[in-house]
Amino acid sequence: MALFDNQAKNRPPLGVELIRRGLIKDSDINEAVNYQKAHPGVKLGEAFHMLKLVPDKELLDVIAEQIEAKPIILDPISMTFKFTDYLSMDIVKQHKVMPFEIEGNKLKIAFADPNDRNTKNMIRLILLSKGIAMEEYVTFASYIDEIVKSLESNVDTPEAYDTFGQDNSQLVDNIIRSAMSKRASDIHFEPMDNRMRVRFRIDGELIEITSIEKPRQNQIIGRLKAISNMHQEKQTSQDGRIIMYPDYNIRVSSQRNIYGEKMVLRLMKKDANIQGLEELGYSNTAEIMEKCFNKRNCITLITAPTGEGKTTTLYSAMNELNRPEINITTIEDPVEIRLPGLNQIEINANVSFADSLRTILRQDPDIILVGEIRDEETAEIAVQAGQTGHFVLATLHTVDSLEAITRLRKLGVSNYDIGSVLATSIGQRLVRRVCPYCAQKREFTKEEKETIENIGKRFEYQFNLENKSTYKVVGCEKCNNTGYYNRIAAYEILEVSDRIRELIVDNKPLSEIRKVAYEEGYRPLIVDAFNKVLEGYTTLEEVRKKLTF
């Protein structure tokens, strides 16, 4: 639901009201709208705030009037209220809410999105269980972020980890909680010759966070094994799981190297918000849903290397398809996000994808999601499901959408079966977004323009360079000094037409299939990646790191 963009009934739009009061000019609205386009997810009120086009108090007063709420300016420096006594840090960070004062049994809470009824109802129920009522206020998300950052600063610095006074349990816990606060997807505990290195993977990039003294290495490994339910004495590879953090599933893998045992923790938020396809980077969402996901008797594949967001895209599509009249069943390893309304099955050491898929076919499904087609048996059963009235969604590890055909051939699926059941193959890569807090706008250089034009000529695509600019990557505390914050998908879509289907069945080489695909309008994901650069989402430097051109 749009923050600060939804207006109370009969109220003029926010921009109109600000102009009426003489707080902004027409050009300011254009600047804020352009900022929104470059930073998806930022609403108009926040854009005015981030660009400092209106004094905070006046802006917040107008916003509060528009949505009939009470305004509050929160000061991170003077904020001493212990809000975690009432709401968990995860809820505060995820939903952008901030308890800031209590009077009797009434807790005052500031919302960055007071129109989000689901969040308000959830918090109201939490407080009611404690005998506390809620009084609502509206504030800016950046105020909440600053307060959270200030509170977490004690565990977010390398110096905090290196303190000898911390016991091993406290040290491990601080590192894990810090990774959660920094949006890390993985934590690497890596034995080196004279230290243990700790790195977080954030937005796809590994960042060294701190070092732990070599004498403590075995104790830290022992603690990780203990909370992961692993064998302490075992030195060979092991897999475990940490369940002591209620909001996260944490998978743990150990692997011995020449300096000891390396431990990698994969952090998966249990109830993460599911982004829409448009938020992920897919334009023309309605058209893509119709083209790729509104199907029967076929298979749609999401293809990419490991770590490129295939499962996230599947969940976004599933969220769109999830309706009471449709029976959707998923097979996953593990179930990463719990989605109400779906029948989600988690495989284990005793039950394979293929075994589960056989059973599911007797459960009257309309749509089947297969977390990954990884072997011949699973591929064959998925094909059978697609040929017998079901719509199958699955992921496949390939470099692009066309290579899915080669991969299925190598898995032993016949050309006839591939041609008869494969409807759409989507390839994607995740590129990092420029940080909205520190990026500096700049013009494209002559060389950069030539690079973009050459790619356009190569793939017969006309890029629009008129009035376009890019960003200089700077780096700040919010983006861990990387200059990037979060990621966006660059994508390509291969629709299997009748011509392509004939080529597959006739066992024609991929080069011939690719040629026909180009003739029919297919364009590789490098084209969409360059459009993401021109739209201000990312940079040529970032695209060059992920794609060859």
111-120, 146-155, 297-306: least confident range: 146-155
Name every residue whose Cβ is closer than 8 Å to that of residue 385 and which is 6 or more positions away in sequence. Answer: 357, 360, 361, 368, 392
88-92, 355-359, 420-424, 526-530: least confident range: 88-92
Question: What is the sign of the dihedral through the CA atoms of 24, 27, 29 and 32?
Answer: negative
Given the DSSP bridges, would you call strands 260-269 and 484-495 parallel, antiparallel or unpaired?
Answer: unpaired
Structure confidence at residue 156 (pLDDT) = 44
- 373-399 pLDDT per residue, tens: 989 988 988 898 899 889 999 999 999
Query: What residues does 188 pair with on adjacent strands?
Result: 199, 264
Alpha-carbon distance of 405 to 386, in angstroms, equals 16
Q: Residue 336 pLDDT > 80, yes or no?
A: no
Structure confidence at residue 152 (pLDDT) = 65
Q: Are residues 208 and 328 in the same domain?
A: no
Q: Are residues 262 and 283 in the same domain?
A: no
Q: Are residues 377 and 399 in the same domain?
A: yes
Give the angle 94-97-103 at the CA atoms, nearest 5°. Answer: 145
Name every residue whose Cβ is closer than 8 Å to that of residue 30 and which is 6 or more positions away in sequence. Answer: none
Cis ω on the peptide bond leading into residue 305 (within 30° of 0)?
no
Q: Are residues 23 and 159 in the same domain?
A: no
Structure confidence at residue 490 (pLDDT) = 96
Percent above pLDDT 90 for the chain: 47
Site of tokens 């129920």 = 125
Alpha-carbon distance of 476 to 165, in angstroms, equals 30
For 119, other C-beta atoms within 10 Å of its C-beta total: 19
Q: Are residues 40 and 107 in the same domain?
A: yes
pLDDT average, residue stretch 472-487: 89
pLDDT average, residue stretch 325-343: 86
Residue 356 banded pLDDT, cuts 50, 70, 90: confident
* CATH code of the domain in which 213 resides: 3.30.450.90
Q: Which residue has the higher pLDDT, 408 or 121?
A: 408
pLDDT average, residue stretch 208-215: 88
Structure confidence at residue 163 (pLDDT) = 38
Q: Which residues of 297-335 are buried (b: 16+ CB within 10 A; e: fewer)?
A: ebbbbbbbeeebbbbbbbbbbbbbbbeeeeebbbbbbeb
Q: Are residues 386 and 504 in the same domain?
A: yes
Q: Are residues 248 and 282 in the same domain?
A: no
24-33, 155-164, 358-367, 459-468: least confident range: 155-164
Q: Are residues 54 and 192 in the same domain?
A: no
Alpha-carbon distance of 541 to 529, in angstroms, equals 11
Q: Nearest-CA neighbor of 318 among 386, 365, 382, 383?
A: 365
Label residue 397 exposed, middle or buried (CB < 10 Å: 0-12, 13-18, 19+).
Answer: middle
pTM over 0.95: no
Structure confidence at residue 302 (pLDDT) = 96
Structure confidence at residue 262 (pLDDT) = 96
Long-range contacts of 234-240 (CB under 8 A, 24+ apart): 235/261
What are the structure tokens assigned to 326, written together? Answer: 């449709």
Q: Residue 6 pLDDT > 90, yes or no?
A: no
- Residue 227 covered by a domain: yes
pLDDT average, residue stretch 490-517: 96
The conformation of residue 445, written as its DSSP 8-state character, comes to P
* CATH code of the domain in which 359 resides: 3.40.50.300
Host domain of residue 121: 14-141
- Residue 543 covered by a domain: no
pLDDT average, residue stretch 12-31: 84
Name every residue whose Cβ is closer than 8 Å to that of residue 251 and which is 6 or more positions away in sequence. Answer: 239, 240, 241, 265, 266, 268, 334
- Residue 482 covered by a domain: no
pLDDT average, residue stretch 12-30: 84
CA distances (Å), origin 329, targets 304, 316, 337, 396: 23, 15, 14, 18
Structure confidence at residue 164 (pLDDT) = 42
Residue 258 banded pLDDT, cuts 50, 70, 90: very high
Alpha-carbon distance of 33 to 425, in angstroms, equals 34
Structure confidence at residue 430 (pLDDT) = 96
103-107, 152-156, 199-203, 282-286: least confident range: 152-156
Q: Are residues 400 and 492 in the same domain?
A: yes
- Residue 136 covered by a domain: yes
Structure confidence at residue 333 (pLDDT) = 80
Backbone angles phi, psi at 38, to 5 degrees: -80, -15
Backbone angles phi, psi at 201, to 5 degrees: -95, 115
| Residues 110 and 137 sit within 8 Å (Cβ to Cβ) | yes
- Residue 32 covered by a domain: yes
* Mean confidence (pLDDT) of the chain: 87
Structure confidence at residue 233 (pLDDT) = 78
- Residue 421 covered by a domain: yes
Q: Which residue has the higher pLDDT, 128 or 259?
A: 259
Structure confidence at residue 525 (pLDDT) = 95
